[in-house]
Amino acid sequence: MATTRPQPPEALKPPAPEPESQPPSASHPTPQPAPAPGPQPPPASAAARPMRADARRNYERVLAEARRAFAEHGTDASLEDVARRAGVGIGTLYRHFPTRHALMSAVFQGAVDELLAHSRELADSEAPCSALVTWLRDIVTHAGEYRGLARELMSASRDESSALARCSTPMKAAGERLLVRAQESGAVRPDVSIGDLMQLTNAIALAAEQAPDDPELADRLLTLTLKGLRAEKEAAT
């Protein structure tokens, strides 16, 4: 006679296996949570990645040759020649520096850093107007070091998307601090803006570039400009 085996209590039965999760299909995508309000972090693919050793060497060679080419031929020097002298293809150059302005920004970054450091030193000067004048002379000298740089800086000042804005934006902020101190001291007219001053200094450098046989032109033009900046009580003295 067959006997019926007793069944284990319900609590002792092993749990049924959970169904495996299926990957989302194109017709039924997995819902994503709404992004939190405010600025979002860049995607992981946009994060800066460290360069490989060979890529770093190419980057430095292109930068060195661009600096040399700009000094010899001006900022409109052939980028194909820069790549050839650096021993890389033009595609490699553009991979590191997508535009001419991007390459120029990298070339001039060292000089810009020096100008910014000098502006911080001048910010504590007991003669705010003299500090501003000194810094403006520095800018004229910098803009005149490479033929075509003054013209490119004037163009970039109206284009915030330009890679040269990486240089001009912090320069404007540094100049603004020096200008405000000079205005607060009563030496400079209150209606003067740093944007106008930066354009004037670039224009002076451009004029001097067109007159290489007159090395004193930039200083004379800057002196005339500075006379127009003086507050009324200063101009009367």
Q: What would the pLDDT profile of 134-183 be if each residue is shown by its tens digit?
A: 999 999 998 888 888 888 888 777 777 788 877 888 999 999 999 999 99
Query: Among 133, 136, 168, 135, which residue's Cα sits nearest to residue 149?
Result: 168
Percentage of the chain modeled with pLDDT above 70? 77
Q: Give the residues of the chain that fall short of pLDDT 70.
A: 1-49, 232-237
Q: Can you tell me the distance from the alpha carbon of 99 to that of 164, in angstroms, rounded to the nearest whole number?
A: 10
Neighbouring residues of 170: CB distance < 8 A, sequence distance ≥ 6: 112, 116
